[in-house]
Amino acid sequence: MAHLGRLLVPLAALVLLLWAVPGAHGRRSNVRILTDENWTSLLEGEWMIEFYAPWCPACQNLQPEWESFAEWGEDLEVKVAKVDVTEQTGLSGRFIITALPSIYHCKDGEFRRYLGPRTKKDFINFISEKEWKNVEPVSSWFGPSSVLMTTMSALFQLSVYIRTSHSYFVHDLGIPAWGSYLVFAFATVLSGLMLGLFMIFVADCFCPSKRRKPQQQATKKPSPELSQPLNKVEEDQEADEEEVSEEETENKEGADKDSPQSGIRQRSVGPSLAADKS
């Protein structure tokens, strides 16, 4: 019996330990996980978001306080979330995360950077006392849903894709590093040419060249403003023609009148010349 009692004590302790450990690890976290696919849920309601990296010591120190703050989320009517920047590079680009950990507050699509102390009590006061109203919101130009930040997110994702592809070329396919660089250089030049051709095509569609424009008719009706000077010029020309015709008629009449007088003179001069000769 003594041996049995000695065996029961360690067995009971082992059972209690096995029962307690799954309970500790199986406790459900109140912190939501945001990704590039579900980040648009931030645009509705009130949120507190932490951007972290698993290798960051400051982020690791913040996790207990952040988890404790998340337990008050239901009472404060705020959703507490976190983003792993090593996995969600697109979200890191949308918010331009340059320091870790970074915390943002969001209220109905307005984002504000949290720069206060990082304890559970300070987080609770920031929400309950509405201290976020004293913080200037991020400009709409730099908001995560703007066109500029969407482009920045795409660039961040592209950089990760290039780095992953380079690693695949070098380590998996055995291509030298300079060969991988040549592949990316060729791809860059080719994409630039394609983009240039596309821009030329779009510009030609919206602003066609003069060769493609329909030729204007050669004969145009003169505008009313120009028709008046033209009429005056025509009238002046007609008046000049009439004056010239009148002068010509007068000259003709004068010539007709002078012709009989000249005959008379010739006739009168004729006999006198004959008398002189005699």
Closest CA to 38 of 25, 29, 27, 47: 47
What is the spatial distance between Cα 168 and Cα 159, in angstroms, rounded to a whole number? Answer: 14
Distance CA(126)–CA(75), nearest Å, equals 14
Closest to 27 measured CA to CA, from 83, 58, 68, 87: 68
* Closest by Cα among 188, 40, 65 to 116: 65
128-136 contacts, C-beta under 8 A, 24 or more apart? 128/76, 132/105, 132/107, 135/105, 136/112
**48 touches 109 (CB < 8 A):** no
Active site residues: 56, 59
**Cα three-residue angle 252-254-259, rounded to 5 degrees:** 95
Report H helices in 96-223. 120-128, 147-167, 177-206
CA proximity to 118, closest of 63, 47, 57: 63
Tell me 34's DSSP state: P
Helix, strand, coil distribution of the chain in percent, nearest 5: 65, 10, 25
